[in-house]
């Protein structure tokens, strides 16, 4: 299947391990027959958005970017951006740390019937004894 793939996740995910997590999600999609023809993502300066744009550039794929307009839309900006992503993508690769925005995107992608590939990340901190 040749698809435009939304790549999304938390802005708080650091480049390392973010890039490795992204590769896991992409490999999962590919193992299910997805050939990525375009990356659809947000405009974040960090996190999975940045990893997605870098991965697309390294793989000579076009990128369609959707920015969240927080100045105008305030709290609903992320959700409105998610709907724009869903209108422009055919499948979703999500790196999920459990944030509300990513959960929202996963839910509506599944509701829309898109192929959805989720890499669930547990954020566990430990204390030194």
List pLDDT tens digits, range 48-93: 999 999 999 999 999 999 999 999 999 999 999 999 999 999 999 9
Q: pLDDT by residue (tens digit) across 1-59?
A: 999 999 999 877 877 899 999 999 999 999 999 999 999 999 999 899 999 999 999 99
Pairing of strands 91-96, 63-66: unpaired
Neighbour-count burial for 96-118, b at 16+ CB within 10 Å, e otherwise: bbeeebbeebbebbeeeebbbbb
Domains and CATH numbers, the chain: 2-120 (3.40.50.620)
Here the tokens at position 99 are 């944030």
pLDDT at position 126, please?
37
Here the tokens at position 71 are 């100045």
Q: How many other C-beta atoms can be found within 10 angstroms of the C-beta atom of residue 90? A: 20
Whether 95 has a pLDDT exceeding 90, the answer reads yes
Distance (Å, whole) CA 82 – CA 108: 9
Q: How many other C-beta atoms can be found within 10 angstroms of the C-beta atom of residue 30? A: 12
Distance (Å, whole) CA 128 – CA 2: 48
94 in Cβ contact with 107 (< 8 Å): no
Q: How many other C-beta atoms can be found within 10 angstroms of the C-beta atom of residue 45? A: 7
pLDDT at position 123, please?
60
Identify which has the larger pLDDT, 51 or 129: 51
Q: Residue 11 contacts by C-beta under 8 Å, 6 or more apart in sequence?
A: 44, 46, 47, 48, 49
Given pLDDT bands bounded at 50, 70 and 90, which one contains residue 128?
A: very low
């Amino acid at each position: 299947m040749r698809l435009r793939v939304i790549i999304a996740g938390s802005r708080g995910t650091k480049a390392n391990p973010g890039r490795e997590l992204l590769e896991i999600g992409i490999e999962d999609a590919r193992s299910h027959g997805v050939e990525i023809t375009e990356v659809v993502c947000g405009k974040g300066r960090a996190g999975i958005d940045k990893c997605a744009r870098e991965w697309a550039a390294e793989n000579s794929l076009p990128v369609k970017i959707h920015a969240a307009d927080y100045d105008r839309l305030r709290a609903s900006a992320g959700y409105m951006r998610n709907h724009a992503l869903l209108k422009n993508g055919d499948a979703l690769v999500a790196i999920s740390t459990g944030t509300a925005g990513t959960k929202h995107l996963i839910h509506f992608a599944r509701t829309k019937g898109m192929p959805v590939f989720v890499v669930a990340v547990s954020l566990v901190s430990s204390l030194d004894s």
